[in-house]
Structure 1
């Protein structure tokens, strides 16, 4: 990823399935908050690198209601089942 800004920089990942989160969308105010299941909890800040993309629901139901592929990602931490790992290389 190359970010063209006043101080441009590049980021390279040591593995293929890292997802860049750049900027956070605003919550739409015109939707009923009790029925709006399309907003996910993003990491704080406007740039982050994620090992999983959270599932998004619809106006009719939460993501968890739509099958096993829509369940929240579970971080397993350290040990043989560790599913959160990777290296990022920054070039300024």
Structure 2
């Protein structure tokens, strides 16, 4: 009897875990955040940049990732989406 209960418990856990994973994936979708002021966040991020495209690319990344790392350089660990976005040549897209 204990073997039947143990086997049944394992089967239930495996089935339950298969239903949990797809629902978690829905939370990873990128949703636009209308409360985020990408203009001012990117203005601060690009304030010391000598590259004219900094604001353009920062705002694209901000809109897709809903975050901008603090400071004028580095700190990309604060926003993994921003950090991991790449251009067509495989280089970082976000300043």
Is the pair's TM-score, using the shorter chain for normalization, greater than 0.5? Answer: no
Q: Which has the larger radius of gyration?
A: 2
User: What's the TM-score once normalised by structure 1's chain length?
Assistant: 0.26
More helix by share: 2
